[in-house]
Structure 1
C-alpha cells in the first residue's frame, strides 16, 4: 500500500541503471549509497512474484519513466472513467486536494505508482496521501492496526469536509530504511550475519504475532488461498503431470495433507510479505515497519513463511537462484544459521498457542501450499514451459523445494 504499491510492476532493466523508485527514496533521505551500489542491489533484489500479469504487460524497450506515465495515464483516462463514469478526475485535482487536506504546498507524486491508485506524499509533513479506485476494507485495516500497531503505519480514510469522487487514504511514512535500499548482503564482505539474523528473527516474531489474535474458523473467504486450495491443487496436479512431473509428488502430498490445515488458527496474513514491503533499521537490521496491506486476508497460520526462503535465504540474480552459502564464524553456511534462527524463534513465539510436536506437519503443509500459490497461482491451468515468466517461476519453486529437502536431510543428520 502507498509507498510500495507498484513495486511488482517495475522491471529492473540493467545493473547500471538507477530506477526511478530509488531516486524518490533518495529524495526522502532513505538512500545514501552510490548509484553503483544501488543498481547492483536492484538486480539482486528484483524477484518474481504473484503479479505476473502486471509485469508481463510492460514492454522491455520502454523506460521505467515511460512505464510510470502509462500507469498514471491509464488510471486517469481509462480506469476512473470505467469505474466512475459520472465523475471527472485529473492529476491536478488530486494535487490540489492533497494540498488542502495536508495544508502544505510541498506535494509530490511517488516514484512508483500502483495500477489502482494515484499516490502523493509530503516530505515536510511525512505523510502519504492516496487516491484509490476502490475503498479498502475498513475492518481489515482496523485488524492490521490492532495486531501490528507498532510495525504498520496506520492507514485511515479521509472523512473531512472536502468532497471527492475517489476514496482518499492518509498514512504516515514508514519508519526506517526501505530494505532494498540497503546494500544487498551478497555484495557485503564479510557476510553481515548479525544484521541478517536480527531481521529474520524479527520476521519470525512478526509472523507469529498474528496467532495472538486468532479469528473465527469460518472467516476465510471463498476466494482465499486457504478455501480455494483444493481446486487450485487439483488443477496444478493435472498441469504438472505434463510440464513438471518432478514436482507432482509435492503437489499431491500437499493435496493429501490439506486436512491438517484445520488444526491451525485462522490469522491476519500479509500475502505480499516480500522485501518490497519491509523497512529496517540500517545499523542493526531490526524491522521497523511493514507496509502494503491492500491484499491482506484471513488465512491459516504459516502461509507467510514463504518469504524466508525467497527473500532472506536466497536471491535471484538474472536467471540464477543462489542461496547464501557464505561460511560464518561458527563454520556453517549463512543460510543454515538464518533458517535455524527463524524456526527456533517462530516456534518459541507461538508456543502458547501452537504445539510444535502436534502442529509441525500442518505448518509445513501451509508453507508448501503458499510456495505453490506464490509461483503458480494464475497459471495453474495455462502454464506454458515456453513462456519466459512461467519458466522463471518454475525454476524458483524448484530451487526452493530442493533446498527445503536438503535442509530437512541436514537437520535429520544433526539430531
Structure 2
C-alpha cells in the first residue's frame, strides 16, 4: 500500500512545480501571474457553480486537476489529443472518460464525469494477500488489453519516435552500453536476445497503446473489477503488447526499500492474466504463432519504461533514479524470458 503522507508531499510538489515553473514556461511570466492555483479553483467554482471542489490526489506533472462530487476538471499546458481520446472511447466505451473542452481561460480546460472506484495504488492491502481480488483485476486487464487488437490501426499511424519504430536503435545502443554489461549482465544477455528477435514486431498488429499503463491510471472497485482507465492523452500506436509491462510492475510484484521482488502469488496472477488475454484476442492473433513476438513487444515496453534519464548509453549508480530503474528492469525482464 502506498505511503499516503509521502504521496501527499509528492502531489504538493507536482502542483507547486506546475504553477511556479511550467505555467510561466508555457504562457510567459506576465500571463502566468494571472494563472495561479487560486484562479484555477475560482474558475472551476464559477464554471460548475459549486464551492465543493478540491485537488485530486493523483496529479500529473503537466496538468492541474480538480474534482467536484460529480466532475473532474483539468487545466493543461497543452490541448488534449482528441483523435487518441476518440479512439480510446471507441474501443473501451465508458471505461475511458469522455472529455469536454471549456473556453475562456488562459490554459486549455477540460471536464469529465467522475469514475467510480479508486486508483489501484490506493487499494488497501491486508496482511493476507487478497488473491481473489487481484486475480479479478488482472483477468479484466487481460481482456482490456486484448480488446485493442480488434481495432488494428494502419502501420502508417505509427510515429517515427514511437517505441516500435525506435526499438532496433534502442537495442543497438543498449548493446554498446558497457555499464549495463558490468552492472547487470543477466539483463544485458536478454537485451542481446531481444536484438536478434526484434524483427518479430513486424508480425504484430498496431494498436492503441497506453504508455503509462500503471496502477496510478487504473481504477478499481472493492472487489477488484476495473471501473476505468485514465490519462490516455500520451497514448500512441504501437505493436500489440507493449503496455503489458504495467502488469509486471504494478500487479505481479513490488519495490520495497529499493529492492524489487515478485509476489509469492505471481505465478497464479500471471496465469490468470495471460489466460484472459489469449482467450480474448482476435482469431487472427494465435497464441502459438504470436507468443514470442508479444514477449519481444513486452520486452521493448519494459526497456522504454526503465531506461530513462540517459541510462540507455550509460548507467550511473550514484543517481537514485538510475539505481531504482535498473532494479526494476533486472527484476522483471529476465523473468519474462526464462
Query: Which residue in 2 is equivalent to 1:400?
Result: 332
Deviation at 1:142, TM superposition (A): 0.8
Query: Which residue in 1 is equivalent to 2:5?
Result: 18
Within a 5 Å distance, the mapping from 1:35-50 to structure 2 comes to none
Rounded to whole Å, the distance in 1 between the matches of 2:14 and 2:188 is: 38
1:182 is the counterpart of 2:123? yes
1:248 is the counterpart of 2:188? yes
Deviation at 1:90, TM superposition (A): 2.5
Quickly say closer, same or farther: Cα 1:402–1:75, change in 2 above 3 A: closer
Q: Which moved more, 1:97-106 or 1:396-405?
A: 396-405
Query: Which residue in 2 is equivalent to 1:138?
Result: 82
Q: Which moved more, 1:76-85 or 1:225-234?
A: 76-85
SS of 2:100's equivalent in the other structure is: strand
Q: Give TM-score scaled by structure 2 length.
A: 0.91
Gaps in structure 2 of 5+ consecutive residues: none
Query: Which residue in 2 is equivalent to 1:92?
Result: 38
Rounded to whole Å, the distance in 2 between the matches of 1:251 and 1:317 is: 25
Query: Which residue in 1 is equivalent to 2:288?
Result: 357
Task: Tell me if the contact between 1:196 and 1:285 (Cα under 8 Å) persists in the aligned partners.
Answer: yes
1:214 is the counterpart of 2:152? yes
SS of 2:272's equivalent in the other structure is: helix
Quickly say closer, same or farther: Cα 1:400–1:115, change in 2 above 3 A: closer
Query: Which residue in 2 is equivalent to 1:298?
Result: 237
Deviation at 1:181, TM superposition (A): 2.3
Quickly say closer, same or farther: Cα 1:388–1:81, change in 2 above 3 A: closer
Rounded to whole Å, the distance in 1 between the matches of 2:246 and 2:176 is: 26
Rounded to whole Å, the distance in 1 between the matches of 2:19 and 2:172 is: 40
Quickly say closer, same or farther: Cα 1:92–1:381, change in 2 above 3 A: same
Within a 5 Å distance, the mapping from 1:46-85 to structure 2 comes to 64=9, 68-85=11-28
Quickly say closer, same or farther: Cα 1:302–1:70, change in 2 above 3 A: closer
Gaps in structure 1 of 5+ consecutive residues: 1-11, 22-63, 326-333, 407-415
Deviation at 1:199, TM superposition (A): 0.8
SS of 2:94's equivalent in the other structure is: coil
Task: Tell me if the contact between 1:203 and 1:287 (Cα under 8 Å) persists in the aligned partners.
Answer: yes
1:287 is the counterpart of 2:226? yes
Deviation at 1:115, TM superposition (A): 2.6
**How many aligned residue pairs are there?**
331
Match of 1:373 among 295, 298, 304: 304
Rounded to whole Å, the distance in 1 between the matches of 2:11 and 2:283 is: 47
1:122 is the counterpart of 2:68? yes
Cα deviation, 1:7-38, whole Å, max 9, x if unaligned, reads: xxxxx7xx6x63465xxxxxxxxxxxxxxxxx
Rounded to whole Å, the distance in 1 between the matches of 2:204 and 2:108 is: 36
